[in-house]
Structure formats: structure tokens, C-alpha cells
Amino acid sequence: MDTEILMQFLKLGLIDLQGSDEKLEKLATTSISLAKLLEADPSKTLAYTLIALDTKAPEDDPVVEETISILEENWITYSNTFSGTPVQVIRALLLQALVISAKENQQVAIAFVSITRNVLPHMEIGNEMNMWSELVKKFESELNIAAEKEWITPEKISVETFSYSPPKQIKVSSADVTLNYEALKKGIEKASGPRNSNSETTNGNKYTVAHGEPWIHEFVPRMTTAITEVIDTAFAEAKIKPIDIAKPLQELSTAVADHIDSTLEAVSKATIGLQRRTSLIWWKESLYSQSASSNYRQMPIDIAAAIMAFDLFNQVPTCSPASVSAFLSESILLLTKDENEKEVGLADRFREVQQSKYADSLRKYIQNLFKDIKGRGPILRFLTLDLSPNNQQFGELTGLAPDTQISNSEWASWVFRELQAIRAVTSGESEDD
């Protein structure tokens, strides 16, 4: 039973089980139940991670209430051990469930790492920092290895050997040709005269050789007919049937076509990483937004950072190397001309994107994914809310202060990672994915 996170919370003094292995087992069983919920609905990863990160998570949050309900099913008397709502215990259970699920589900791991990368630097988690950092590092390393395999261009392209089994050898045979001696003999007798050597009537040539020319005129056609009939009969018996080679030719054609398709697929898979990198370089150099149909230099830098993140998101798969975020940051510097970036409050950045015409596609994408907003969840949900981020609800729904300061490149990376996290565990798909 997986208890590594629960044990770390115990060692850090964040929860106290009075040394009871039985209580630890009940918590472990609860975390497994939560992991099964993640398996059934991976989108819960977003809220689970945000609550697990927050030492001051609200007691009335839906995830907190759900966790308490499951804890009660596995440990009816838990309240005798913990007073009030045991927020630290809930956080430990959620994080343990996330780790269990992330080990089995790459999409959960992507969402967990992406959300944590964004929020962790802005949360006050005291002596937990090392634990969280190690978890992110571990899963991010595994994801990066998997992503690099898809993005790398191999030195050699392996193609399967052409496979085709030729049909069995075609055999051509005919019956033995036998001339009908008796029929030919009778035919010659008919052509030779009115009687044969046995003085029997032939019912054939009525002339004898002594008649001269009349005999000849009768003999020739009768003799020709006799020989032709016997030979025709013999060849008819030995006639070879037509050979149908359409099936083996069709099988050969199919085998060749399949081999060509598999070869093209192998080449495409081997070069897809190169294609992606080439497309990204073109995008970076052109500084043109497909979603906004505009050059990024025409936009305010705060807006451009968010739109660049959205456009990059639409160009890469969900599992991408960590270097993609670094590539985005470097692209932002092209707009700021390497000047020191001014940090702006998170709420102010949202307000500008909420109102910008350049962000129509981004807002539409988010709106299609989040209809009802309840409890903790991705910050991007605020793009579709008719709500000023400078109020208490922003903190309740995000766990962050509205005046959290981030730079343009950090803002771009935040939007990109959150989009990746959302797509990983929901039905949201980019146009090119």
C-alpha cells in the first residue's frame, strides 16, 4: 500500500496519528479511494492539486467536503483523532492520491506538474517545499524523457522488410493426345473408293483410281476431311483451360501499397520532431498570431504574452519537453527587446485579457470547457467570468492573492502550462492536436 506522501506529512509533523499503524492504514485506504475517483474522472486532478497546495484551503470547498465524505467511509471515528476539519490530513490524502494516479496515468502527471509549477512559487507551504519540489522534479523528468522520444529525429529510419508470399507455382497440364486410328482408317477408305480391302462398301468415293480425274476430285476433299476431323477431336481433348492470375496480382499490389504506407508512416514518425521544431522557429521569427490574425508587436505586451502562449499551445502536443516553456520565454524577450521585465499583478493581467479583442479565440476556448465554476480550479476560468479579479472570490477560487506579481514571460508560461494541464485531463483539444 502506497504511503510515501502520508509518511512525509507525518515526518514533517503536519499530521499526528499518535504512532498508530491502524490509523495510517485507514488514511492509505482513503487515498486509494481518491485515486480511483481520479482514474474515473482525471479532470479532478486540477482541483485536487490546487487544494493539496493550499495550507489554508477553505473548509467548504467541494473537494474538501468530498474528501471528508470518503474519509468517513473508511474511518468513521476520524473526528476523535482530529479536531475540526483536518485540512492538513485532507491535503496529505489528496497529494497521496495524485501521486498514485500520476504513476499510472501520464495525463494526470502532466496536469499535476503543470499546475504545481505555476502555483508552488506563490504558496506559503513552509517545510513542505522540498517534498513538493522533489515530486515535481521526479514526474517532470519522466515526462520529459517520454516527450523527447517523440520529438527527437533519429539518425536512421527503420523500415520493415517488404513482406509478400507469392502464390503456389502455377501448373499447366493437358491430356495426352491420341489419334483415333480406326476413325482415320475408315475416313481414308471412304476417300479411296467405293470398297475397302475387304470388299466392303465404304459409302464414300464412288470412283476408283482407274477413273482418273473424277477419282482425284472426290479423293482430295474426302481425305482432307477425314484427317482434319481426327486431329480436331484429339486437340479438343487436350485443350488447356484459361489461367486466372488476377488474384495473385491483386495480392502483390496490396502488399506493395501496404509497404509504401508503412514506410511513409515510419518516415513521418521519425521526422515529426523536426517538423515541429521547424514550425516553431518559423512562428517565433514571424511573430504572427494565427488565433488573433495579427502580429504580436501590434498587441500590448501583457496581451501578446497570453496570446503567444495560446498559439504555442495549439502547435504542440500535450506531452512536450520542458524546453518548450523555455522557448516561449525566449520568444517573449523578442518583444521586450531583452529589457528588464516589469512585474504586474495577476488580477490586472486577467482584466486586460478579459477585455482584449485579440483574446477572443482564447476566451472562447476556455468558455467551451468551463460552464459552471464551483470550487478551486484553473485561473484561466476567470477569462469567461463577468467578475472583477480584484475581489475575495478570486482568492477563494484560485488560492492566490489578486496582486500576485508575475513578469511577462512568467505570465506566458503560466497560461501555456495551465492550458496543457486542462487539455491533459479534460476533453479540450487544440485545433492541431
Residue 432: the pLDDT is 42
Q: Please report whether residue 433 resides in a domain.
A: no
Residue 430: the pLDDT is 43
Q: Please report whether residue 274 resides in a domain.
A: no
Phi and psi at residue 238, in whole multiples of 5°?
-100, 15
Asked if 289 and 308 count as a contact pair (C-beta separation under 8 A), the reply is: yes
Residues 216-259: tens digit of each pLDDT: 777 778 788 878 887 878 777 766 666 677 777 787 788 888 77
Residue 428: the pLDDT is 53
Q: Please report whether residue 296 resides in a domain.
A: yes
Q: Please report whether residue 208 resides in a domain.
A: yes
On whether both 90 and 197 belong to a single domain, the answer is no
Measured CA to CA, the distance from residue 405 to residue 342 in angstroms comes to: 9
For the chain, the distance separating the N- and C-terminal CA atoms, rounded to the nearest angstrom, is: 37
Q: Please report whether residue 212 resides in a domain.
A: yes
Q: Please report whether residue 410 resides in a domain.
A: yes
Measured CA to CA, the distance from residue 287 to residue 277 in angstroms comes to: 15
Residue 241: the pLDDT is 65
Residues 347-360: tens digit of each pLDDT: 888 888 888 999 99
Domain assignment of residue 123, given as a range: 4-151
Residue 433: the pLDDT is 43
Q: Please report whether residue 265 resides in a domain.
A: no
Residue whose cell numbers read 503567444: 308
On whether both 310 and 357 belong to a single domain, the answer is yes
Low-confidence ranges of the chain (pLDDT < 70): 1, 153-159, 169-177, 238-243, 264, 266-273, 337-341, 372, 385-391, 427-433
Measured CA to CA, the distance from residue 90 to residue 92 in angstroms comes to: 5
HSE of 212, CA atoms in CB hemisphere, 13 A:
1
On whether both 379 and 417 belong to a single domain, the answer is yes
Residue 227: the pLDDT is 83
On whether both 32 and 133 belong to a single domain, the answer is yes
Which pTM was predicted?
0.73
For the chain, the domain total comes to 3
On whether both 195 and 68 belong to a single domain, the answer is no
On whether both 50 and 102 belong to a single domain, the answer is yes
Residue whose cell numbers read 516561449: 328
